[in-house]
Amino acid sequence: MKAAGARVLGYGLVLLLLALWEAASVTRLLDPFYFPPVHEVARSLFASLRDGRLARAVLTSLGRGFVGFAGAAVLGVGLGAIAGRHRFVRALIDPLLELLRPLPSPAIIPVAILLLGIDSSMKIFIIGWACFFPILLNTIDGVRSVPPALVETARNFGLRYPESLFTVVLPAALPVIFTGLRIALAVMLILTVATEMVAGSNGIGFLLLEAERTFRIADMYGFIAALALVGYALNHLFLLVDRRVLAWHHAMHKDPAA
Amino acid sequence: MTGPANAILDVRGVGMMFDGAGGRPSVLEDISFEIGPRDVVGLVGESGCGKTTLLRIMAGLLRPTRGEVSLAGVPIVRPEPQVCLVFQHYAATLLPWRRAIDNVMFGLSARGAERQQLRQSALALLERMGLAADAQRYPWELSGGMQQRVALARALIRRPRVLLLDEPFSAVDERTRAGIQELLLTLHREETCSIVLVTHDLDEVVHLSRRVVVLAGRPARVQQIIDGPAGVSRESLRSHLSIVRGRS
């Protein structure tokens, strides 16, 4: 009950901040050119929703975002499962990983533009690149943490390597893999917007920057609000899948006092 | 060295060395004994002498550095499902995302009616173990003794020719232990498999085994094979084992 109450208060805090913004803008305490009143931002948000601009942009952005994310998930989980099981593979890829992992993903945007141009393939590549590392590293950790006795039992029962990988190792590592996927999902949204801002002619990132450059400041804030809602919805959707797929894990670790 | 005729499992001259920081220390050396059909053999020895390693070799999970293990005359060169090992840390071998009954059926491939039949067998086995009401519960919802019985049921449903039990009663309380021991003896009477039991408990060895293989020394060797320990006085057996412990 206490947590639920705090949550309601939390939403109240968001509303309070919006009300303060509205009041400060209307009374010109804040410059309304840079901080248009909330009702104007809301009006412009609904206008872009009505004429379909926003939906098209969001769908375009999420489309390329998910292709990059899915590619990273397949490669990251695949390579992570192999590297997690074999010390030799881990040792082989470790120096490369240690060099590439700290590299900020936007740093490779110029290279990607040079090699792939400025269309969707470049953006998908950058998104995939950025999502790949958290998925790979968490998969390696997850697979390494699988109790050896579990794998040995599967071997003893005559399960072959791929069968044991898919029925024992990956399901056992799934809670840690999901942590990587959740981090990657947030990274996906960041890089989707960033790449569309750097080079593009569509997508929510492009709309946002275009609004700023043409001084449609209320539109700009409207797109930012839309992005925040998309991020919120994505995270909640992911948690929904997580609660369903990993129901056993959450029940197993449920604090009886909670 | 005594051994049963028509051995089902033949451990012959097995030696094992592991790569370590200080070279390749030998863990087991020239281990030989036989397991007969429907035999119950206790395997005893000091902690860390290599009993679990020997069980893993017998199940085909490890290749010995020397010697070989044969099942009905055929050398075991890969994991052998007919030699089923129930690990000491059985709780870690149950799949937490599968219910008890699905854990029992784990790894058995069957479809349609055959699968339904398999499910019935698993349920019957769980019922036999006193777990009929818990078939739909997850392993982490069960007590240690119940988890142990699920692990045992999962091994038995495969109708193995040899069942290897690694300290099966070390993590359960006295009452549960006695219950599972009786269950094991009953199941052994009904089933056709042989049992190899690793334990530290002398009473357990006497109560359950027909023969005891005593390992001792570093590297471990077969120090003694005692036939019919139930017929040997407890004191005599204890002195056998304490001599071994004194030497190792």
Kindly state whether residue A236 falls inside one of the protein's structural domains. yes
Q: Which residues of A touch B96 (CB under 8 A)?
A: 172, 248-249, 252
Kindly state whether residue A55 falls inside one of the protein's structural domains. yes
Q: Is A106 on the interface with B (CB under 8 A)?
A: no
Q: Is A15 on the interface with B (CB under 8 A)?
A: no
Nearest-CA distance A78 → chain B (Å) = 21
Chain A interface disruption, residue of B97, B147, B156, B161, most A CBs within 10 A:
B97
Contact A137, A75 (CB under 8 A): no
Cis-peptide, bond into residue B25, ω within 30° of zero: no
Pairing of strands B221-227, B211-216: antiparallel
Nearest-CA distance A175 → chain B (Å) = 11
**pLDDT grade, residue B175 (50/70/90)?**
confident
Q: Is A160 on the interface with B (CB under 8 A)?
A: no
**Residue B40: strand pairing partners:** B195
Tens-digit pLDDT profile for residues A5-35 = 898 999 999 999 999 999 999 999 999 999 9
In this predicted structure, the answer to whether residue A258 has a pLDDT above a threshold of 90 is no
Q: Which residues of B touch A170 (CB under 8 A)?
A: none
Contact A41, A49 (CB under 8 A): no
Kindly state whether residue A252 falls inside one of the protein's structural domains. no
Q: How many domains does chain A have?
A: 1
Kindly state whether residue A29 falls inside one of the protein's structural domains. no
Question: What integer pLDDT is reported at residue B247 of this predicted model?
Answer: 45
Question: What integer pLDDT is reported at residue A216 of this predicted model?
Answer: 95
Q: Among B104, B190, B198, which residue's Cα sits nearest to residue B147?
A: B104
The mean per-residue pLDDT over the stretch A79-104 comes to 94
Q: How many residues does chain A have?
A: 258
In this predicted structure, the answer to whether residue A131 has a pLDDT above a threshold of 60 is yes
| CB-count burial class (<10 Å; 0-12, 13-18, 19+) for A5 | exposed
Kindly state whether residue A23 falls inside one of the protein's structural domains. no
Q: Among B179, B100, B97, B185, which residue's Cα sits nearest to residue B147?
A: B100
> Residue A146: what residue type?
V
Mean residue pLDDT across chain B:
84
Q: Is B19 on the interface with A (CB under 8 A)?
A: no
Token duo for residue B100 = 């008890």
Question: What integer pLDDT is reported at residue A218 of this predicted model?
Answer: 96
CB atoms within 10 A of CB A124: 25
Alpha carbon of B29 to those of A128, B43, B53, B69, B223: distances in Å?
A: 53, 15, 12, 14, 11
Chain B interface disruption, residue of A151, A153, A167, A246, most B CBs within 10 A:
A153
Question: What integer pLDDT is reported at residue B109 of this predicted model?
Answer: 74
The CATH number that applies at residue A64 is 1.10.3720.10
Q: Kindly indicate whether the ipTM for this predicted assembly is greater than 0.85, answering yes or no.
A: no
Closest residue to B97, CB basis, from A149, A156, A171? A171
Kindly state whether residue A229 falls inside one of the protein's structural domains. yes
Q: Do A147 and B93 touch (CB under 8 A)?
A: yes
**pLDDT grade, residue A200 (50/70/90)?**
confident
Kindly state whether residue A21 falls inside one of the protein's structural domains. no
Q: Do B95 and A152 touch (CB under 8 A)?
A: no
Kindly state whether residue A210 falls inside one of the protein's structural domains. yes
Nearest-CA distance A160 → chain B (Å) = 10
Report the sign of the C-alpha dihedral through residues B77, B81, B87, B90, in that order. positive
Tens-digit pLDDT profile for residues B2-59 = 456 588 999 999 999 887 666 677 889 899 999 998 899 999 888 888 899 999 999 9
Look up the domain containing A213 and give its range: 48-247
